[in-house]
Amino acid sequence: MRVLLVEDNEFNRTLLRDILALLEVEILEAVSGVQAIELARASRADLILMDLRLPGLDGFEATRLLKSDPATGHIPVVAVTSYAFEGERRRFLSAGGDGYIAKPLDVDQVLEVVRGYMEGREGRGLDPGR
């Protein structure tokens, strides 16, 4: 299982990396939407954890581009964001996003969501919103 972590904030990226280190996953990291797309195409990631507020190409647009590309469209994209508003959640899902993890990060929630994908339980622990 290869998880692509997309987060421009170093504190949050370190925290997510430390949480994912508790699981048997390989971690790749991107700090921008453009880098996320490049890495997703090159690395065959199995899951993408996507911050929505990114410099330049934001997480919404990066998700839309990933989902519209046959090479990456199958990769689940879970937003990791403080955007707790219904409108932002809908906007992410309409961009093709698969689920949602709220900031501030809850260790157990992150583990549950990632384990769900590791075990093929897509959707469990997520807020699929559809």
The residues binding Mn ion (CB under 5 A) are 8-9, 51, 53
Residue of closest CB approach to Mn ion: 53
The nearer residue to Mn ion, 8 or 88, going by C-beta atoms, is 8
Least Cβ distance, residue 6 to Mn ion (angstroms): 9
SS3 2: strand
Least Cβ distance, residue 35 to Mn ion (angstroms): 13
CA 92 to chain centre: 11
Least Cβ distance, residue 12 to Mn ion (angstroms): 7
The nearer residue to Mn ion, 28 or 52, going by C-beta atoms, is 52
The nearer residue to Mn ion, 9 or 109, going by C-beta atoms, is 9
Integer Cα distance of 88 and 58 in angstroms: 13
What Cα–Cα distance (Å) separates residue 118 from each residue in 59, 63, 85, 95, 115? 23, 20, 28, 23, 5
Integer Cα distance of 73 and 123 in angstroms: 17
